[in-house]
Copies of this chain bind each other. A is one copy, B any other.
Amino acid sequence: MSPAFTSVISGLRGELAEMVRMTGDAMGRATDSLLNADLETAQSVIAADRIIDDLNARIDDRSVRLVSTMAPADSEVREILSILRVATSAERMGDLAVHIAKSARLRYPDTAVPPAAREIVREMGELAEKLAAEAADVLETQDARAAADLKVADERLDALHRRLFNLVLSPEWNDGIEAAVDLTLISRFFERFGDHCVSIADRAALVATDRS
C-alpha cells in the first residue's frame, strides 16, 4: 500500500472513530433522557444527529474522491469500502440513539421506563455506550483480540435484552401493555446498536488480517 494512501486511510479511520464515539455519547445521553424523563436532553440528542449524518456524507465524498484519484488496488478498494460500511453503521447507530430519545419525548413528562425495568435499561444504555467506545478503539488499533472481547460484551447486552422480554412477559409485570410495547422497541434499539458495534469491530479487525 502506498504511503500516501495509507496516510489518507488512517486519517479517514480516525474521523470514523470520532463519529462512532459520538454515537456512543448520543446513546448514553438518550438513555439518561429516557430514565429521567429529561426532555431537554432528548431534544439535544435528536438535534445533534444532523452532525453525525453530515460526517457520514463527508466521509462518503472523500472516499469517492480517493477511489477516483488514487487508482487503488483490490486490497485498497476493499479498505475504502470497509470504511464506507462502517460509516453507514455509525449513521444508523446515531438513528437508534434518536429513536431512544424520541421514546423519552413521546412519554414526557412521564417516563417510558417503569421502576421494575429501570435497572435493566440503565445497564443496557451503559453497555451500549461502552461498546461504541470500544468499537471506536478497534477502528484505530485494529486489534483482533479487542474485537473478540467486544463480542463477549455484546452477548451481555443480548442477555439483558432477553431479561427485559422475560420481565414484561412475566406474571409479575404490572405496568400494562403500553410500557411493555415501549420497552420491546427500546430494547430492540439497544440490541441493534450493539450488533452494529460488533460489525464495526469485526470489519476493522478483518481489514487488518487481510493486510497482514
Q: Which A residues are within 8 Å of any B CB, using their own CB? A: 60, 63-65, 67-68, 71-74, 76-78, 81, 84-85, 88, 165, 168-169, 173, 177-178, 180-181, 184-185, 188
* Cβ–Cβ < 8 Å partners of A60 in chain B: 81
- Say which residue of B63, B67, B73, B185 sits within 8 Å of A184 (CB atoms): B185
Nearest 4 interchain pairs by C-beta:
A68-B74, A184-B184, A67-B77, A181-B184
- Say which residue of B76, B88, B178 sits within 8 Å of A85 (CB atoms): B88
* Cβ–Cβ < 8 Å partners of A73 in chain B: 68
B68 & A64 in contact (Cβ 8 Å cutoff)? no
A64 & B78 in contact (Cβ 8 Å cutoff)? yes
* Cβ–Cβ < 8 Å partners of A185 in chain B: 184, 188
Contacts A64-B77, A85-B88 given; indicate if A165 touches B177 (C-beta within 8 A): no
B68 & A72 in contact (Cβ 8 Å cutoff)? yes
Question: Taking the nearest CB of chain B, how far is it from the CB of A163, in angstroms?
Answer: 14
Closest to A63 in B: B81
B188 & A169 in contact (Cβ 8 Å cutoff)? no
Question: Taking the nearest CB of chain B, how far is it from the CB of A4, in angstroms?
Answer: 17
- Say which residue of B77, B173, B181 sits within 8 Å of A165 (CB atoms): B181
